[in-house]
Structure 1
Amino acid sequence: MMFVTDPERLGTTRLPDGRALAWAEWGPRDGFPVVFCPGAGWSRWLGFGPDAVHALGVRLVSVDRPGLGGSDPSPGRTLPDWAEDVRALGLDRPAVVGFSQGAPFALACAAAGVASAVAVVSGGDELAHPAFADALVPDVRRLVDLVAADPAGAEADFAAFGNADSMFRMSVDGGPDVDREVYLRPEFEKAFRRALEEGFARGGAGYARDTVLHLARWPFRVEDVAVPVDLWYGGRDANPTHSPDLGATLERRLPDARRHLLPEAGGGLLWTRAGDVLRELTSRARRR
């Protein structure tokens, strides 16, 4: 199985305010558009499912969030701002995939009417929601409380901490063996490290802003998301910043959600089950 390949196309879109938004693509140019919101600190260089995108006729577009990779910074940006950036790409009601920290960005696209359907994979939940008041591990509880009390100070701390190597080590060292079998494959490790190095090429500010947005209360109601959402979680995913209950609360809050819990999978199921994720997502999106 081929987990990753280099992008087939790279490009930049000039936004209405003059900022550059950088992206990478896999799959046929005229395929069904699927926007990818990557994980913490990543650039557009790491995609998923290179065989599946061609088999399913998917045009996978991975986009650098502001301040990461080739996308210009946008200090003080919000989750709804990201949805407007995606809207400016000019895609016709794309489906959206959010992996890990990319989950709130994908759901923001749905809340803003940009997305036709969403897949959240090993997704970072709304950890500041009252439902998780007593469910977070102490280190994550501390970060959520810090963001609530002093968002600017938290953002500065995250910017000082975040770098390509620390993000790679967190993914590899903190995951189960089933994930390390993916992440440490030579071709995957090379692509992963490149995505992180590109992501932090401008420093840690882009990662820091993303992290504050993830750990704060989200500025939209999940209960009002009107498009179908598939939630994919691995039973062996031990990342404490993903979801304390592996998406169970998120499924209950969303009006039209299906939760797929794969007991033997880890957080890296986006690559091991890419075909399933894209097949379910595009099937639901095409019916709308």
Structure 2
Amino acid sequence: MESVPDDDAQEASRDALSRPDLAVALDAIYGYATDPENWEEMNSLLDEIAAGADIEPLADGMRAHLSRAEELARRLHVAPPAQNAGPSYCHMVVGRDFRILDISEQAAAMLGPFCRSLAPGALLSFGDPENAARFRALASAAAQEGAGPVLLRLVLEDGEEAVFGYLLAEESLPDPLRRRLDLSAGVRRGAIAFVAPDREAANDASRMYRETFGLTPAEARLAAALKDGLSLKEAAAHLNISVNTARNQIKGVFEKLGVNRQGDLIRHLTELSQLAAYIRTTQDSAEASPAPAPGEVPLSFVDLPCGRKLAFRDYGARNGVPVILLPSSVSSSYIWEPEAEAAKRMGVRYIVVERPGSGASTPDPELTFDSFAQDLGHFADALGLSAFRLVARSSASPFALVAAARLGRRVELLMLTSTRLGIPEGSPRARKPKGLLASFFNNLKRHPWLLDSTLFILRAKMSRSFIRPLVHKFFEASPADLELIKSTPSLEAAMIRSTMETIAHSYSGLLRESQLYLDGLTIDLSGLTAPLVVWHGEADGVVPLPELERRLAELGIAPDEMRVFPGEGHCFLNRHHEEIFERLLIA
């Protein structure tokens, strides 16, 4: 007869099973740090720890090895700067009298075939009178107060046009470049700068920066889709055109941009959009409007009184009804193209703001819901918005609620979508936390040092192929969302890019916002005057509807309007963005 273990033996057996082996843990840590595609073993380890596994006996050893793994990941995945490397962009600065104040070797090589002399102190003189007239007109436009960068297009020998880079006021140059130029205050006043990607092929006109505004709207949409990583077939499906039509359009794009391969096209468009994001616009961001590459809206910045910056993207109709969107904690200001197009079509000025420590916004170690409400007030002042509608996604909801309460009548309508108002709820009897998000919060609460190192390594090795399965895992408990994402390549690509941008500079915002959730929500809505609209997907597995309803009741929040979308998940807003805009337009 088989013997039955006593209670002490069973308890010891359970303890052994719930305590990870150090060797196994280290295999997971170093595999995660060194392999660009590896995340499954580390994810399993984090799941096990979040479910209650006892790691205290291993903590000291794991901390030491995590520090080494961080350094290893940095060396393996972060490209070191080239020795004595200068800025990534070549430049030329001319004074108000168009005398050259400073010029890089690369800019001289690029502009040399078009100019008589490019020596510092010489008067800038173009061989072709048309190019001279263009440069002077564009320089005058860029010098206007509040103007943003303008694209410099010059006429080539064959009569075709090519974009070479941007002209902008010297005071709007990126700070590192301004410091390196070391120009006196007297000559800086009224100076104009030319900035372009640093290209070794500057003397070869066929390889110059050839993107022009000669693209038709259809060609521009196709070019933008290809730049975002879609294949020609995927881009055709996304744009609802046939593959043959896409092939014909891409031929036209190639001819106008002076390229012969899809890879060259993507490189040109990417460089132009990166340059637009790199250039610091003037403080009056409401008026500055850098010219983007087709399909791109570059980042802009608002300077806060404390010296921090808030990054944002300004989509839609510039003179449309102002709507400020607060994205979730794991999303940047980059949004899916069909949503941006709908905003413009429907007359909405759609301003997507990145909160402190997320995306390109400066971190705020003391971030609270109230402090961000103050930030948002300053942000709206900088853009000249006396009133606006406010919409939040998922974990941004508490920030939007507090901001609307503090800003009072300036917020004409408050809309919460896929609303999260607390840490994920899981079954108390479940051994494993429910989903990636629950595991994240459990580990943040019990072992913040472990999660900090995990995110550091994730940022060091970040790539599209690495982030893609993480996006899928985030929605593993929400089949309706997984089906939508997998069946819509352009949406999946937008989510991956947005996630990558969120932690590209820092993950401090993600950790700080998550800690605010762990500390518990206490929200004073006594100053809220705006109608409160809450829309949610009935099949949302990320924030289940019953969980949302309990949270609203606990916080004493009674929406003026509650709409549930049958069969839809957390991403219902991606299917119904036009309906969301329609509702936002009704004050």
TM-score by length of 1: 0.80
In the TM superposition, what are the counterparts of 1:77-226 in structure 2 within 5 Å?
77-89=367-379, 90=381, 91-113=385-407, 115-126=411-422, 136-138=426-428, 139=433, 156=449, 158-162=451-455, 163=458, 165=467, 168-182=471-485, 185-222=488-525, 225-226=528-529
The separation in 1 between residues aligned to 2:486 and 2:355, in whole angstroms, is 22
Any conservation in 1 of the 2:402–2:524 contact (CA below 8 Å)?
no
Shift of 1:155: 5.5
Choose the corresponding residue for 1:258, options 547, 561, 567: 561
1:187-219 deviation digits (Å, cap 9, x = unpaired)? 222221111111111232211111122343334
- Residue type matched to 2:334 in 1? W
Shift of 1:261: 0.8
Any conservation in 1 of the 2:486–2:492 contact (CA below 8 Å)?
yes
The separation in 1 between residues aligned to 2:427 and 2:440, in whole angstroms, is 10
Any conservation in 1 of the 2:480–2:539 contact (CA below 8 Å)?
no
The separation in 2 between residues aligned to 1:66 and 1:115, in whole angstroms, is 21
Shift of 1:177: 3.4
The separation in 2 between residues aligned to 1:222 and 1:75, in whole angstroms, is 24
Runs of 4+ aligned structure 1 residues displaced above 6 Å come to 140-147
Higher helix share: 2
The separation in 2 between residues aligned to 1:243 and 1:159, in whole angstroms, is 31
Structure 1 pair 54–18 and aligned structure 2 pair: CA distance change class (3 A): same
The separation in 2 between residues aligned to 1:238 and 1:279, in whole angstroms, is 26
The separation in 2 between residues aligned to 1:146 and 1:173, in whole angstroms, is 19
Structure 1 pair 16–185 and aligned structure 2 pair: CA distance change class (3 A): same
Shift of 1:66: 0.9
Structure 1 pair 83–180 and aligned structure 2 pair: CA distance change class (3 A): farther
**Unaligned 5+ residue runs, structure 2?**
1-237, 240-293
- Residue type matched to 2:413 in 1? A
The separation in 1 between residues aligned to 2:564 and 2:297, in whole angstroms, is 31
1:6-41 deviation digits (Å, cap 9, x = unpaired)? 553531111111111100121111111111111122
**Which has the higher relative contact order, 1 or 2, with Cα contacts under 8 A spaced 6 or more apart?**
1
- Residue type matched to 1:118 in 2? L
Choose the corresponding residue for 1:245, options 525, 547, 551: 547
Paired residue secondary structure (1:112): helix
Shift of 1:266: 0.6
Which stretch shifts more, 230-239 or 163-172?
A: 163-172
Q: Which structure: larger Rg?
A: 2
Which stretch shifts more, 244-253 or 41-50?
A: 244-253
Any conservation in 1 of the 2:536–2:570 contact (CA below 8 Å)?
yes
In the TM superposition, what are the counterparts of 1:227-242 in structure 2 within 5 Å?
227-240=530-543
Percentage of pairs with the same residue: 23
Any conservation in 1 of the 2:320–2:349 contact (CA below 8 Å)?
yes
Shift of 1:156: 4.8
Aligned residue pairs: how many?
A: 271
Shift of 1:248: 6.0
1:54-99 deviation digits (Å, cap 9, x = unpaired)? 2331111111111111101110210111111111122222211111
Any conservation in 2 of the 1:228–1:257 contact (CA below 8 Å)?
yes
Task: Report the equivalent of 1:131.
Answer: none
- Residue type matched to 2:547 in 1? D
Any conservation in 2 of the 1:8–1:27 contact (CA below 8 Å)?
no
The separation in 2 between residues aligned to 1:155 and 1:32, in whole angstroms, is 42
